[in-house]
A and B are shown apart, each in its own frame.
With several copies, the nearest count.
Chain A
Amino acid sequence: MTDRDGPSDRDASLFAAPPLGEQERMVEAVLFASASPVSLKELFGRLPHGSDPAAAVENLQRRYDGRGVRLVKIGDAYAFRTAPDLAFLMSRETVETRKLSRAAIETLAIIAYHQPVTRAEIEEIRGVGVSRGTIDQLLEMDWIRLGRRRMTPGRPVTFVVTETFLDHFSLESARDLPGLKELRAAGLLDNRPPPGAEPPEPSENDTQSELFDPPPPEGEPAP
């Protein structure tokens, strides 16, 4: 299979196939980037005329022998796969991501903008109660933690956001979050539902769109 086209072949001399080492690089790149295993026939179609993908695959297979990834044959196609003995390293790849609930994201937003903030203050700002599960979820995600107790009667605990939170939202500090006026100026404050979220109830949506005409309200510190 290696020398199909002799030097006498006119096409081959006009469009000489790249050297085998180069073909090997090509196969490597194609297999790496492809979303599914690639057959020899397909490789033959994609490599420059006169290439010998079978030989290139064979060389590559040897090159990856014993490495962290291997070139394996699946049916009559080829693909890179993690070496089986290293599968334990891959277990983290299988996390299912779900959008945070609206209650949780609102609670989180209030904590981020008003920290340190007590639960009573969160409820006051949101206008509805905050369920224990919401706070627990945010604590468990390590996006919020307990801050200093407030020096008022009852010494309520306060909540603040964590490094993990800053990390997730690529923020250097919670102070860098834009205020309401800035949100509006940046065009971020519109009544378009956030991507992936269910549209808000129509009644609330109506109220909101009217909110953008009057002079922008200022964010004010929580009581």
Chain B
Amino acid sequence: MTDPDLPQPGGGNVTSLEARLAAEALIVDVDGFEGPLDLLLTLSRTQKVDLRRISVLALAEQYLAFVDQAKELRIELAADYLVMAAWLAFLKSRLLLPPDPKDEGPSGEDMAAHLAFQLERLEAMRDVAAKLMGRDRLGRDVFARGEEESVARVRRTRFTASLLDLMQAYARIRTKDEFRPFVLDRGPILSMEEALARLRPLIAFAGDWTDLSAYLPDGWQTDPARRRSAMAATFAASLELVKRGQAEIQQSETFAPIRLRRKDPHD
């Protein structure tokens, strides 16, 4: 798997036996890799140099050789490994061919530098993750009060919920809503009973003259068919309220807005 065509900086002391063993170990462990970047980082270690001085070209070669070998051994590689292989093949051609002045886009060097940065950053994160896990940890190195004291005096129930509860509850409601059976959806007809049931509590607050159209239910104003039905039903319902002496109605001239207000029983 080490590529004989490519010089390996600092890697000259790797005997072919070691290399073969390493290659086999990689094949066996392919499931253990966490994605192409992880594999690249492992491959880069065979170069035995500081990640900042790594040969990205050699690394690309190593990766492509690895993918070829996996194919030969009929190991099913996940799509992202193949995407990375395609990208590295592209990068390799960019690095080997003289730059085409007409070609726009990033240079091979920039792309290689970014890959080196990504590898360095991933390794740095792994280092600090290990350092973090090695710190004095609660319950292992330092300890909290073992016997919390509580004086049983005030017994108060406190209700609580976690953020997960909250988010899951919301998801539950909203996804349920999406699948509301179609038949339950309201048709374009608002019945007078519905309009009356709606208007009755609303009118109780309206001491001032208010345009009838303001009482149309939400979502019924835009669609003309729904609007007509809602307007008719609401108008009929308002007449019913007037008849019962609960409201007053007026229209200043023909086609002017119809206005409605609460009628106080004491008036």
- Which A residues lie at the B interface, using CB under 8 A? 29, 32-36, 79-84, 87, 90-100, 102-106, 108-110, 112-113, 125-129, 136-137, 139-141, 145-146, 152-155, 167-171, 177-180, 183-184, 186, 188-189, 192, 194-197, 200, 204, 207-208, 210-212, 217, 219, 223
Contacts and interface: CB of A to CB of B under 8 A. Distances in A.
A97 B165 CA distance: 15
Contacts of A169: 132, 135-138, 162-163, 166
Contacts of A32: 143, 145-146, 149
8 contacts: A33-B143, A90-B150, A106-B169, A112-B170, A127-B38, A154-B206, A169-B162, A200-B172
B36 A127 contact: yes
Contacts of B161: 99-100, 104-105, 108
A208 B143 contact: no
A139 B150 contact: no
B142 A82 contact: yes
Interface in B174-204: 174-180, 201-202, 204
Given A35-B147, A128-B35, 13 more contacts: A92-B154, A93-B139, A97-B137, A102-B34, A104-B159, A106-B126, A106-B129, A126-B38, A127-B180, A170-B136, A177-B128, A194-B164, A200-B172
B176 A194 contact: no
Interface string B114-150: 1001101110111111011101111111111111111
Contacts of B133: 105
B158 interface: yes
Interface of B: 34-38, 40, 80, 105-107, 110-111, 113-114, 117-118, 120-122, 124-129, 131-133, 135-180, 201-202, 204-206, 210, 214-215, 218-219
A110 B125 contact: yes
A108 B159 CA distance: 13
Nearest to B39: A127
Nearest to A212: B175
A152 B201 CA distance: 13
Contact of A109 (B107, B159, B170): B170
B106 A103 contact: no
Contacts of A186: 120, 124
B138 A126 contact: no
Contact of B157 (A96, A110, A129): A96
A79 B201 CA distance: 55
A92 B155 CA distance: 9
Contacts of A207: 176, 179
Contact of A112 (B138, B166, B178): B166
